[in-house]
Structure 1
Amino acid sequence: MTQKNLSWVLERINHGHYKAERLQAWEKNKQELSETMTNCLYYFTLFPTDFEIPTRRLVNLWVAEELVKQNKQQTAEDIAERCIQDLRDCNMIQVMALKSNSKIKTCCLPSMLREIILQDSDRTNRSHYSGAHLERRYDDRGLDENSENEFSKKGIPLSVFSLTSERGKNKEKILSTGIASEQLRDVRVLDIERIFRPQLPQTLCKLTHITYLSLRWTYLEEFPPFIGKLVNLETLDLKHICIRVLPSSIWKLKKLRNLYLNHKYRSRVEGKLRGDDQENVHTL
């Protein structure tokens, strides 16, 4: 980039032109976006400003949260991937990295557009997902000793996910006490990606509504035996953990659609598939 081009970009930023362009793009597209695309776009606001999100994570979260649903022609995952591409095409999200096959690898919601969306007072009139429903998602930055009070204000959580790598002193305790007090009884998504070797309570087996469980980048050394009891689990992410052999109880998960295993440790699963035990598997 030449100095002349860079000066032009900086001048436009300083005078707010980019924000004006984002605002124009939002005003142009917001009425034309389908309810599914609108819901998926609002989901980006759960993440911090300029947070780079893998499309793999977004697709599986959207499916688990039932923001997208399969039809006779396409799977829910295919619809979610198409939604990401459509949001890119209408300039609603920013592509951060591409895969070798030119598909989107990571993306984010531009900070200026995020600010515009959050300030749009009319957003609750266009999406059933925004408003109180959206507030029932909690990330690990909001989990502390006052979480129970927050739950009573906003409602019992539907999703709990990690956005930081710090293990934290209270997170395991909050999970345990939240389950014991039934504050987490309706949780469908538990994403603790990058929490280093968390001590997961055995009582997690009581969260039978969970459809999405991510232990990616946790470097766990022992497989949580309760996973086989999560009968509604659809996505199980075990990538980048330190376990070589996984028990055959995984195959008890009849609704499992996506199973991500470690490559570096060459994880293997005990037991074998029998007949149509895993006819629903979409990604292995």
Structure 2
Amino acid sequence: MDLDLRKVRYFTAVAELLHFGRAAERLHIAQPVLSRQIRALEKDLGAELFVRDSHGVRLTDAGQQLLDDGRQLLTAAEGTRRRVLRAARGPRRLVVGFRAGITVTDALRAFRAEHPDVETTARRLEWDDQEQLLLDGTLDIACVRSPVREEGLELRPLYTESRVVMLPSGHRLAGKPDLSLADLDGETWLRYSLPGPGDLPVRTVEEKFECVAAGTGITLVPRSVAAQYPRPDISYVPVTDAEPDQVLLAWAAGRRSPLITAFVAAVQSLG
């Protein structure tokens, strides 16, 4: 049995919204058509994907599993489509991603020196889209920061760097030569990932700056971020026992691209 990607896309819309009517609107199809497609998918798989009752719509265990796997499947299919179109259209093009504080300028110069006929583009990415943009084909390769969801990616460690704490300039610890994590006990922390109790979520480095400067919370950043983004209302202090930040080169697993191979070589040539 071949899994129909169109049906999986329909299923994913319903699973995310848990409402057939709103899912049909998102997909621009009639609700009866959507319901028939979902029933056909359940028949194909031999499993019930939704529980439909007076309380609404909810996923079965089988439905939750298909949602987890289906998102990855659709992302991989979209990545394949983009790469095929890119190969068919030409000219040759390489899109390189980078996180805040990471400089790819020298690597791009080295790559262009060897491949002057290739169009290159650098694109900034954030912690929550660094994997997605590689898997869906938006980026060819990227310099990312840990933690990284490894599934579907090839990863090559590049280097580590120490981290510093961002404090508002009027903070009691601002201007100290260095600190330990114990010195920061009781502070409100800003977090990229899902926050713990008392932590505040942020998405970008710029959001961190504004929150720290306003006294909302504090956070750790790589030393390179501190060097690239000095601000008079923020103090950066080294934290001696903070876990180092890991920078890695990442690209979609299984991609056979001489341009990716060449860019990896360009990065490695810089030491």
TM-score of the superposed pair, with normalisation by structure 1:
0.24
Structure of greater relative contact order (alpha carbons < 8 Å, 6+ residues apart): 2
**Between structures 1 and 2, the one with greater strand share:** 2
Rg (Cα) greater in structure: 2
